Each structure stands twice: as structure tokens, then as C-alpha cells.
Structure 1
């Protein structure tokens, strides 16, 4: 099986999940984007793929949810 990679990335003033070179949706918080990525990664894992999920750490002045 292949490798499924999901990266939480900033998109203007929101967050997205980069997968297969594309960000298809935007989320108000980093946590919301992470939850979607983990759900998608769970399905990929069930199908037998190796899975990588990454999210950036908090920047100075940023809240825990990334807003």
C-alpha cells in the first residue's frame, strides 16, 4: 500500500489540510482541521496505508486553537 500524508497548513486567516498536493477545505481553527485530518487518516490506515499527520506548533501570541 501507499503513503497517505496529511499536513495542517495556514490558509490566509484559516486552516486547511494539505493532502495529495491540494487543500480542499478551510477551517476556522487548527483543531478543526486536525480533527478532519485524523478522521481521513483513520480511513487510510484501515485500508492498509502508512499514515503521516503533521501540524505546526503554536506561534508566540497564538491561542491553543490556532486563532
Structure 2
């Protein structure tokens, strides 16, 4: 579940909507998670191994109003709004 680029970086992107969140890494989409938080925890676990191996790590998690394919707006305010 690791995206490796020439610069030695690992990039993890969460995609989906409630009940069907996935971690996209290296063009491959992993298993489905019931919540965004569960998918994030899986991405962090994978990122921990990448850090240990010396990679730069990026984890992207869309907000409620994000325009990433497959996300939904829950209507809840974000941390800066609530």
C-alpha cells in the first residue's frame, strides 16, 4: 500500500464516502473501511512503516466539502468553523 516515487516518498490518499472509505497508494486502492477514521488509521500504520524505511510521507484526507471524487458533504462544520 505504498506509493514510491523517484524522490523516495510515500503518498496515501483517502477516497470514498461513509461506509466505503479506501486508501489509495501507488495507484492501487486498498480494502474498504466503514469510516474515514478507520481508513486514516490504516494509512497511518502504512505510513509508519514507510517512515521507518526512510521515505518522505504524505497523507491526504478530504474534508467534508472537498471536491475529491467520491467524497460527500456531511454538512457538519470543520474544526475552524465549529
TM-score, reference length from structure 1: 0.82
- 1 or 2 for the larger relative contact order (CA 8 Å, sep ≥6)? 1
Q: Which has the higher helix share?
A: 1
Structural RMSD (CA): 2.1
Runs (4+) of structure 1 moved beyond 4 Å? none
Number of residue pairs aligned between Structure 1 and Structure 2: 63
TM-score, reference length from structure 2: 0.68
Go from structure 1 to structure 2 and tell me whether the alpha carbon gap of 1:11 and 1:49 turns closer, same or farther (over 3 Å shift).
Answer: same
Query: CA shift at 1:13, angstroms?
Result: 4.7
**Which sections of structure 2, spanning at least 5 residues, go unmatched?**
1-6, 65-72, 77-82
Larger radius of gyration: 2
